[in-house]
Amino acid sequence: MFLSTTQGRYWVELIDQATADWEGYRMGHAVAKYFQQAAMDRRRAPPGELGEARFFSLRDRNADPVSTAMTARGRIQIGVGAANATPFPRYEPDYRILAAHLGVSFHTSCYPYGQRPPSR
């Protein structure tokens, strides 16, 4: 899925483990671990906590990842930037577009590490 957003950025859905591994490597975070857990949870009967999770990569004009999102239970559950930095407020408009497209709720509290200032 390619969903155009702002300033030439776009969302791509991560649909396999290899892509999730690449995303985690490029972004310096643990999306691959959560993707693997979600795949295992989908195979359970009944599905586990992450059984319905979906993963998305926000890419810039050069196709480089700049933020990663996980949706589950009707909302964007996690949103992180490179090296687990906050993607907000810089990519907040992109997240709002993704949430509206998917019909899920969004709040910047999906950043799981608190609102720390970006690294210099």
User: Does residue 18 come out as left (phi exceeding 0), alpha (psi in the -120 to 50 range) or beta?
Assistant: alpha
Q: State mean pLDDT over 4-27.
A: 94
Q: Per-domain residue ranges for the chain?
A: 2-110
Please name every residue paired with 75 in a beta bridge, in sequence order, or none if there are none: 72, 105
E-assigned strands of the chain?
2-4, 10-14, 54-59, 65-72, 75-81
**Residue 57 pLDDT grade (very low, low, confident, very high; cuts 50, 70, 90):** very high
- What pTM, to 2 d.p., does this model score? 0.90
pLDDT tens figures, 73-102: 999 999 999 999 999 999 999 999 999 999
For residue 119, pLDDT over 70 is answered with no
Q: Confidence class of residue 9 from pLDDT cuts 50, 70 and 90?
A: very high
Report yes or no: 79 and 68 within 8 Å, Cβ to Cβ: yes
Q: How confident is the model at residue 3 (pLDDT cuts 50, 70, 90)?
A: confident
